[in-house]
Structure formats: structure tokens, C-alpha cells
Amino acid sequence: MDDLDRRLINRLQLGLPLVRQPWQALADELDSSSTELLDRLHELLNDGVLTRFGPMFDIDRLGGAFTLAALAVPEPRFDTIAELLAAMPEVAHNYRREHAWNMWFVLACPSEQAISDTLLRIERLTGLEPLNLPKEETYHVGLYFPV
């Protein structure tokens, strides 16, 4: 990772400029070209330096619903169930935790009823009862990790 990669990562943490050509605005700001910045972003993603780059939507404001959920998955079945969840369009992401509830995942659905239906489908597919942890209150925490 060189200086431009670091400056790009630091700047992207603050969001993209809300202009017609955001990559050109970033290129002007970082003394680069939009093509170079996009190429570097793809390389950072391909190399695993960045794991995700994309928008954050307020699903409540868009009329949808989401929840945090967990499963207590027996270790021999962990990878299989992780793949099953990862293939579901409603599952935003899933990850391992060192806890009895060792698989956590986020569901994003068009409605609360769809959340319930999806949790029931997961229970039927896995034989495991999901722990549903719906949001009670929203907190906005701005994180910035300079590199």
C-alpha cells in the first residue's frame, strides 16, 4: 500500500462527494485520475485490504425492515450453514462469534412480516431456532480509522 492508497482509504471513509462525477471530484482532491482511483479501489478489494465498498441505506426510511439474528450452530455444520445463509438474498452478511450463539447475521427485508417469514425459513432449512434481536433504537456513530 502506498501513499495514494492510504489517502484514498482515508478519504473514502468520509463518503463520496455528492456531485454528478464523484470520482473526478476525488481525483482532483487527491491529485490523481478517476481511472487510477477506481483501479486502486478494485485492487484494494481484490487483495482483501478492503472487504466492502458500497452505500449504507437507512432501510427504515426506505420502508423496509432489518434485524440482527444469531444461530447456535454445531461446529461440524458451521461452514455449510454459513454458505446457506450467504446464498440468501435477505442475508446482508454473517459472521462467526466466540459464543454459544456462534453465527450472527443481518437480515434486510421489505417488511417486518418478511423478516418473520425468513427467520422461519432459516429454522426449517437448518433445524436451528434463530435468536431475533430487532433494533430498539438507532444510534449513529461515526468511525474513522486513519491509515
- Render pLDDT for 25-78 as a digit per residue (tens, 0 to 9): 999 999 999 999 999 999 999 999 998 888 877 777 888 899 999 999 999 999
What's the predicted TM-score (pTM) here? Answer: 0.66
In tens, the pLDDT along 79-96 reads 999 999 999 999 988 899
Residues 41 and 75 placed together within one structural domain of the fold: no
**Domain-located, residue 144:** no
Residue 139 identity: Y
**Domain-located, residue 125:** yes
Domain that holds residue 22: 3-46
CB 92 within 8 Å of CB 108: yes
CB 28 within 8 Å of CB 40: no
Nearest Cα to 109, choosing from 69, 68, 64, 70? Answer: 64
